[in-house]
Amino acid sequence: MASVTPQRVLITTPLRWIPDTFDFSRYGQIFNGGADSVGATFRAAMMNSAVVAVGTVSISMVVGILGAYAFARLRFRFRRATLMIFLATYMLPQIALLIPLYLILNSLGLLDTTTGLILVDCALVIPFVLWILSNYFMTIPDELEEAARIDGTTRLGALFWVVLPAARPGIFAAIMFSFLLAWDEFMYALIFTSSDAAKTLPVAISEFAGRYTTDFGLVAAGGILAALPPLIVAIIFQRYVVSGMAAGAVKG
């Protein structure tokens, strides 16, 4: 709402709830602003966020599906313990890893790159994907897979042709969770990025909010644009989340 209210109305006291005119100039500023403007920074951040989120989700999903299948279907020693160790990484606060990670990324030349961010974000997201998917895979009847394997399909073939299609709600739920996690990640992005080359939206917005404290409308416009992609993903996938979790995560 504030994003289309003229500055003059925003700072009137008492506040008027409905502005007398709509002012879309801030969106113009963001979309058309030349180099070195707020708009250029914002557009770069939007791009970086998209790259980081899509990269993180893709890697996490591929790696997570393979791992979750192992947890759900194969009998091996330390199965439970291995899963618990993966889940326990969630308890580590990011702050405990920041300083050494900064030094590592620096020496690898990955500081202030989207590749570096994808790398560290995957470590956050994969445990979640493993948890959601392995629970969901366990609810898919073994018989389906066995039938396929009697027909001569390999285990991996059965995973792709039988288990994955049957696990669609769980897969969508996992995609949605990992996308929101990656899009929302702030602390790594704050410390590991410094320029338009890799800065993501949350960092860019928090900088806007710090710099343009008087133009709340501009911050609001940026915020709305930053919230759009996750909103679209969430609204499309929300109906799978309940079924994906109902069958999976929550079952004892």
Partner 1 sequence: MSVASVKTVEKSEMHPAQSGKPAGPRKREKQGRLAFWLLLPAGLAVFGVIIYPIFRTLIISFFQVNSALATDTPFVGVDNYVHVLGSASFWESMGRTLYFTLLSTALELAFGLIVAGLLNAKLRARWLFRAVVVIPWAIPTIVNAAMWKGIFSAQYGALNALLTQLGIIKEYQAWLGDPTTALNMVVLADVWKTTPLVAFFLLAGLTSIPAELYEAAKLDRARWPRIFRSVVLPMLVPSISIVLVLRTVEAFKVFDIIYAMTRGGPVNGTQTVAYYAYTTAFSDQNFGVGSALSYIIVVVILALSAIYLRLLRRSEMSLL
Closest to partner 1 by CB, 35 vs 95, is 95
Q: How many CB atoms lie within 10 A of CB 135?
A: 20
Query: Of 13, 21, 107, 195, which lies in the binding site for partner 1, with binding defined by CB under 8 A?
Result: 13
Check: CB of residue 168 under 8 Å from CB of residue 106: no
Note whether 132 binds partner 1 by CB under 8 A: no
Place of tokens 């299948």: 69
The correct pick among 18, 35, 96, 150 for binding partner 1 (CB under 8 A) is 96
Binding mask 196-235 toward partner 1 (x if CB under 8 A, else -) reads -----xxx-xx--x------x--xx--xx-xx--xx-xxx
Per-residue H/E/C for 88-111: HHHHCCCHHHHHHHHHHHHHCCCC
Please, which residue, 34 or 186, has the CB nearer to partner 1?
Answer: 186
Cα separation, 20 vs 35, in Å, equals 32
User: Can you read off the two tokens belonging to residue 57?
Assistant: 């989700």
**Does 74 help bind partner 1 (rule: CB under 8 A)?**
yes
Identify whether the C-beta of residue 91 lies closer than 8 Å to the C-beta of residue 174: no
Residue from 122, 148, 167, 175 in contact with partner 1 (CB under 8 A): 122
79 lines the binding site for partner 1 (CB under 8 A): yes
21 binds partner 1 per the rule CB under 8 A: no
Among 8, 168, 211, 239, interactor with partner 1 by CB under 8 A: 239
Other CB atoms within a 10 A radius of the CB of residue 42 amount to 24
250 and 29 Cβ atoms separated by less than 8 Å: no
How many positions of this chain bind partner 1 (CB under 8 A)? 96
Shortest distance in whole angstroms from residue 174 CB to partner 1: 13
146 binds partner 1 (CB under 8 A): yes
